[in-house]
Structure 1
Amino acid sequence: MDALAKKVASVLALGTLMVMLDVTVTVVAIPRFAESFDTPLSTAQWVTTAYTLALVAVMPTSAWTIRRFGAKRVYLTALTVFVLGSALAGLAWNIQSLIVFRAVQGFGGGFLQPVGMTIALGLVDERHRGQLMGWLGIPLLVGPVLGPTAGGLLVDHVGWRSLFLINVPVGLLAITLAARLFPRAAGAATETLDWAALLCLAPGGALMVYGLAQAGDAGEPFDAKVVVPAATGLVLLTVFVVRTLRSPRPLLDLRLLRKRSLATGSGAMLLVAGAYFGSMMVGPIYIQAVRGDSATTAGMIMIAQALTTGVVAQVASRLVDRTDPRRVVWFGISATIVAMTLMTTVLDYDTPYPILIGIGVVMGLGIGSTFMPLMTAALRGVDGPGTGSGTTILTTGNQFASAIGAALAATILTSLFNSRAGLLNGSGMTGAQRLTPDQRVAAAPDLASAVADTYLLTLSLLVAGMVVALWLPKTVRPTAVRASRSDDSERPLDASR
C-alpha cells in the first residue's frame, strides 16, 4: 500500500472503531440508565437495541447512496450524523430522548463501514487487499470486545453521558481528516432509489432482529410478540430477494452472489459472525451474573482476547496477499472451534480466570485469522461498479448475523436460566444480576451450566461455518492474477475449482 492508502485506511479505522465500540459500550450501563431515568430495565435495554436496529436498517442502502452521491460525500454526511447523534445522546433528558438519539447515531454509523471499505478498496489493487483489510479489520473485531471495558470505566469514573460525548471530539477529527484525504468521487445524478425494495429490506431486517430479541423477554419462542414480527420480517425479506433478482437496477445487486467466492464467503461469514458476537454477549453475563463480579472486571478479562485478535488480524491479512486465503480461513475457524469447545467443557461456577483468559487468547487467534481473510477471499474477483454492492452484501450480512446471533444466545441463555435456577422465578438474566451474594452462591452451579450449554449454539454455528468455508474456491496469487485478468476484471478467480 502507498502512503495515501495507509492514511485513508487509518481514518476509516478511526470511524469504524467509534461505530463498533458503540455497539457494546452501553451494555454495561443499562442498569445505570434505568436508575438515572427511573425506568424498567426492559425499557433501558432499548438504548442498545435502537442503535443496532438503526445500523441494520440503513446499511443495505449503502451501495445505492455510493452510486448516487459518491462515496466521499456519503461518508462525510454519515459521520456528521453519527457525531450529531452522539452529542444529542450525551445531552438526553429522559429515556425516550436517549433512545431516539441512539437511533440517530445508528442511522449515521450504518453507512461508515461499507462506504469506507468501498473507498479503501478503490485505492489498492488485489495484491494489497489483504494488507488493507488488516488495517480495516482492527476496529471491526476489537471494538465490540473493548466496548464493555471502556463502558465500565467511563460509567464508573466519569458518568454515563461520557459514553456518547467522547465521540464528539474524535468524530470531528475524523471528519476533518476525511475531508482532506479522501478522493473525490462523482455520483450518478439520474439514478433513483428503489423505494419498494428498501421498504421491504430495511423494515424486514429490523423486524426479524426485533422478533428474535423479544424471545428472550417473552420466555416462549412461539409467543405472539416473537412470531409476528419475526415472520413479518421474513416475508418482507423474501419479497425483497424476489424483487431484487428481477430488477434491472436493484437496490443491492444480489446477482453478484453468482460468484462462488462471494457466495461462499458471505455464507461462512454469516455463521462465524453469528457465533462470535453471540459468544461475546454470553461471556460478560457469566462474569457478572454467575460470578458476581463487576462490569469492569468482565471487560478487563477480555483485553487479552482483543489484543490477540488485533495482532493476529494484521499477520493473517497480509498472508492472504501471498498464499491461498482458504488455508488461513480454515486455520482460523478451526482455532475458534477449539476455543468454543473449551468453553462448553471447562466452564464452571469457579473456573479460574487465567484459564478463561487463555481460552480468550485462542479465540483471538482464531477470529483474527478468520474475519478479514474471509472477507478478502469473498471479494476476490469483485471489482469496479460491483465493489460497492459486494462490500455492502458482506457488511450487511455481518451486522444481521451479529444481531441475530446475540438475540438467539440471549434467548437460549434466558430459557436455561429460568429452567435450571428456581431462585430466579422466571426473571431470567435480569433476575440473575439481582441475586444476593448468598443466593448467587446457591444458584451458581446451575447458572454456570446454563452458560456452558449456551455455548453449544455458538459452537454449532462455527462448525457449520467451517463446512461452508470448505467450498471456498481456490485462488491464485494476486500478482499472477493481474497479468492474466487484464481483459476481464469481473470474472471470478479460478471459480471452477
Structure 2
Amino acid sequence: MTTPTPAPVESDKIDAAVLKIAGVVVLGAIMSILDVTVVSVALPTFMQEFDATYATVAWTMTAYTLALAAVIPATGWAADRFGTKRLYMTALVLFVAGSVACSVAWSIESLIAFRVLQGLGGGMLMPLGMTIMTRAAGPQRVGRVMAVLGIPMLLGPISGPILGGWLIEAVSWHWIFLINLPIGIIALAAAFVLLPSDKPQPSESFDFVGMLLLSPGLALFLFGVSSISEGGGGLTTRVVVSCAIGAALVLAFVFHALKRADHPLIDLHLFQNRNLTIAVITSSLFAIAFMGAGLLFPSYFLQVRGETTLAAGLLLAPQGIGAMVTMPIAGNLVDRIGPGKIVMFGVALMSLGMGVFTQLGTDTPYPLLLGALFVMGLGMGCTMMPIMTAAMQTLTDQTVARGSTLMNIVQQVAGSIGTATMSVVLTNQMKASPEAQMVSAAAHNPEAAAQLPPGVIEQGMSAAADAFGNTFLVALVLLLLTLIPAFFLPRRKPVAPAEGEAAPVMMH
C-alpha cells in the first residue's frame, strides 16, 4: 500500500524537540572531547607543578584514554538495562565529579587517578549521545542530527589546545578542569528536563565473561600501543607483552561473543549488516589517518616554525571553519542521497589538502598551509559523521545502543593506532638526521639552542620539515586507501524500518 505523500514530508522534518535533544548531547560531547585535548598543553605545567618527568605526566592523558576504552564496551548493555536518560545523567555526574577532583589534585598520582574517574564518565557520553540522537531522529533524519554531534568532535582537537593554553596563562591549570563544572551543571539540568525517558529492559543478562575479556583486553592493547612512542619507536618488552596479552584477550572475546547467543557484551552479529561492516572498515582507515595527522599539525608549527602553543592552536582554526561550512550541508545530503558519494568527495578533498603537507619546508607560505587546512576541513565535514550515519541509519531501535558502542570502540582503537603510527614514523624520520635530533633536543632548552652553530640549526630545521612531510605522506596513503571501502557505502536515501521499528521517532 502506497504511503500518502504528506506523511514522509512531515516525518522528515527536524523539529524543535529533536534539536533540543541534540543540544543536550552536544553539551556532554563538548566536555568529553575537549578533555582529551585540553590537557595536552598542560603537560609542561604538570611537570613543574608536581616535579615529575614527562613520561609520568603523560599518564594524565593515557589514563583518561584507557578509562574511555574500558567503559565503552559495557555502555550498550547498561543503556538497555537502565535506560539511556538515566545512564547519561549518571555519566555526566561521574565526569563532573572527576573534573572537580582533578582540580584539587595534590600530587601527580592523585591527578592520574582522578583522570580515570573522569574517563569512566566521559567514555559513556559519546556512545550514549549517539544512541539518544539516533532514536530521537529516526533513520530518515539521522544524517542531519549526526552532523550536529560532529561539531564538537571536529572542534575539540582544534579548540582544546587554544582553551587550555589561555586558561593556564590567564588563571591557572586548575581551571582546565573546573571549566567543566558550570557546563556540566547546565548539561545535567537540560538532560533532566529535555531528554525523553525510555524503558529499560531488566530481563537482559549481563555478559560478565565478555566484560572480563574485552575491557582489560582493549585497555592493555591501547596501553601497549601508546607506549611505542615512549620507547623511541621501538618494540620494547612493555609494548610487546601489553599488545600481545591485550590482543589475545580481545581475540578470546571474539570467539566468546560469536558463541554466546544471549546478549553478548558487544554483538558481533551486527557485522552481518553489510552497511555497518563497510562503515566500520571505512571509519577505521579514516580514523588512523585523521587522528594521526591531527597530532602532527600543531607539532610542525611548534617545532619547525617556532610558534607558541596558543598561536599553533589558532593556526588550526581554518580546519574547523571548513568543517563547519560543509557539515550541515553534508548531513542534509546524506539523508537525501545516502552517504556514499558524500564520503568519497570528502576523502578526496582531505587528500588534496594533505598533499600540500607532504611538501613541507621551513618556509612554506602560511597562506598555502592555511588554505590546505581549510580544504581539509571542508573534507572532514563531509566525511566523519556521514560514515557514522551509514552505520547507524540501518539499525533498528533494539540494536542502536549496541551499534553506537561498537562504532565508538572502533574509533577509539583506530585513533590510538593512528597516533602511535604517526609518532613512530616521525621519530624514525627524525633519527635519520643527527642535525634534526640536536635541534629537537635543544627545542626546550634555550641555553643548549644558543650553543648550536647557525648552520646546524638551519640543517636541523630543514631535516625536521622533511620528516614531517614524509610522515604526512603516510597519512595521505591511508586516506587514499579509505576511498576503496567508501566506494561501497550506500548511495541511496535510507528506507524507514518496517513495522514497529520506527517507533523511536515518536519519542519527540
Is this a same-fold pair by TM over 0.5?
yes
Amino acid across the alignment from 1:331 = F
Q: What residue is the counterpart of 1:119 in the other structure?
A: 132
Count of aligned residue pairs for this structure pair: 482
1:202 pairs with 215, 218, 227, which one? 215
Q: How far, CA to CA, are the matches of 1:68 and 1:430 in structure 2?
A: 52
Q: What residue is the counterpart of 2:474 in the other structure?
A: 457
How has the CA–CA distance of structure 1 residues 430 and 236 changed in structure 2, closer, same or farther, with 3 Å as cutoff?
A: farther
Note the C-alpha offset of 1:433. 4.3
- 2:266 is the counterpart of 1:252: yes
How has the CA–CA distance of structure 1 residues 299 and 308 changed in structure 2, closer, same or farther, with 3 Å as cutoff?
A: same
Note the C-alpha offset of 1:415. 2.2
Note the C-alpha offset of 1:437. 4.7
Q: What residue is the counterpart of 1:386 in the other structure?
A: 399
Q: How far, CA to CA, are the matches of 1:260 and 1:23 in structure 2?
A: 32
Q: How far, CA to CA, are the matches of 1:265 and 1:433 in structure 2?
A: 42
Q: How far, CA to CA, are the matches of 1:316 and 1:279 in structure 2?
A: 23
- 2:292 is the counterpart of 1:278: yes
Q: What residue is the counterpart of 2:488 in the other structure?
A: 471
Contact kept in structure 1, 2:134 and 2:392, CA below 8 Å: no
Amino acid across the alignment from 1:165 = L
1:348-497 mapped onto 2 (5 Å cutoff): 348-422=361-435, 424=437, 432-434=443-445, 436-438=448-450, 439=452, 440-475=457-492, 477-478=493-494, 481-482=495-496, 485-487=497-499
Q: What residue is the counterpart of 1:291 in the other structure?
A: 305
Note the C-alpha offset of 1:384. 1.5
Q: How far, CA to CA, are the matches of 1:160 and 1:381 in structure 2?
A: 44
Q: How far, CA to CA, are the matches of 2:238 and 2:443 in structure 1?
A: 23
How has the CA–CA distance of structure 1 residues 366 and 429 changed in structure 2, closer, same or farther, with 3 Å as cutoff?
A: farther
Amino acid across the alignment from 2:68 = L
1:326 pairs with 340, 349, 369, which one? 340
**CA root-mean-square deviation:** 1.8
Q: How far, CA to CA, are the matches of 2:442 and 2:224 in structure 1?
A: 22
Q: What residue is the counterpart of 1:51 in the other structure?
A: 64
Amino acid across the alignment from 1:67 = D
Q: How far, CA to CA, are the matches of 1:410 and 1:66 in structure 2?
A: 36
Contact kept in structure 1, 2:140 and 2:393, CA below 8 Å: no
Q: What are the Cα deviations for residues 54-93 of structure 1, in whole angstroms up to 9, with x where unaligned?
A: 1111112111111111101110001100000000111111
Amino acid across the alignment from 2:485 = V
Note the C-alpha offset of 1:431. 5.9
Q: How far, CA to CA, are the matches of 1:315 and 1:178 in structure 2?
A: 27
1:230-269 mapped onto 2 (5 Å cutoff): 230-248=243-261, 249-269=263-283
Q: How far, CA to CA, are the matches of 1:82 and 1:431 in structure 2?
A: 38
Q: What residue is the counterpart of 1:164 in the other structure?
A: 177
Contact kept in structure 1, 2:430 and 2:436, CA below 8 Å: no
Note the C-alpha offset of 1:25. 0.7
1:90 pairs with 89, 103, 107, which one? 103
Q: What are the Cα deviations for residues 127-164 of structure 1, in whole angstroms up to 9, with x where unaligned?
A: 21111111111111211221111111112222211110
Q: What are the Cα deviations for residues 108-134 of structure 1, in whole angstroms up to 9, with x where unaligned?
A: 000001111111111122221111111
Identical aligned residues as a percent: 38
Q: What residue is the counterpart of 1:146 in the other structure?
A: 159
Q: How far, CA to CA, are the matches of 1:212 and 1:184 in structure 2?
A: 39
Moved more, 322-331 or 454-463: 454-463
Q: How far, CA to CA, are the matches of 1:47 and 1:487 in structure 2?
A: 48
Q: How far, CA to CA, are the matches of 2:57 and 2:498 in structure 1?
A: 55
Q: What residue is the counterpart of 1:494 in the other structure?
A: none
Q: How far, CA to CA, are the matches of 1:431 and 1:237 in structure 2?
A: 41
Q: How far, CA to CA, are the matches of 1:420 and 1:27 in structure 2?
A: 27
Note the C-alpha offset of 1:197. 1.1
How has the CA–CA distance of structure 1 residues 325 and 256 changed in structure 2, closer, same or farther, with 3 Å as cutoff?
A: same
- With normalisation by structure 1, the TM-score equals 0.93
Q: How far, CA to CA, are the matches of 1:263 and 1:314 in structure 2?
A: 25
Contact kept in structure 2, 1:381 and 1:489, CA below 8 Å: no
Q: How far, CA to CA, are the matches of 2:378 and 2:309 in structure 1?
A: 24
Contact kept in structure 2, 1:221 and 1:227, CA below 8 Å: no
Q: How far, CA to CA, are the matches of 1:355 and 1:10 in structure 2?
A: 35
Q: How far, CA to CA, are the matches of 1:234 and 1:452 in structure 2?
A: 32
Contact kept in structure 2, 1:260 and 1:473, CA below 8 Å: no
Contact kept in structure 2, 1:56 and 1:202, CA below 8 Å: yes
Contact kept in structure 2, 1:421 and 1:446, CA below 8 Å: no
Partner SS, residue 140 of structure 2: helix
Partner SS, residue 218 of structure 1: coil
Amino acid across the alignment from 2:20 = K
How has the CA–CA distance of structure 1 residues 301 and 184 changed in structure 2, closer, same or farther, with 3 Å as cutoff?
A: same
- With normalisation by structure 2, the TM-score equals 0.91
Q: How far, CA to CA, are the matches of 1:470 and 1:128 in structure 2?
A: 22
Unaligned runs of 5+ in 2: 1-13, 503-508
Q: How far, CA to CA, are the matches of 2:123 and 2:187 in structure 1?
A: 16
Note the C-alpha offset of 1:353. 2.2
Q: How far, CA to CA, are the matches of 2:48 and 2:109 in structure 1?
A: 14
Contact kept in structure 2, 1:414 and 1:429, CA below 8 Å: no
Amino acid across the alignment from 1:455 = F
Q: What are the Cα deviations for residues 321-379 of structure 1, in whole angstroms up to 9, with x where unaligned?
A: 1113211011001111111122112x112222222211110110111100111111222
Unaligned runs of 5+ in 1: 491-497
Amino acid across the alignment from 2:305 = R
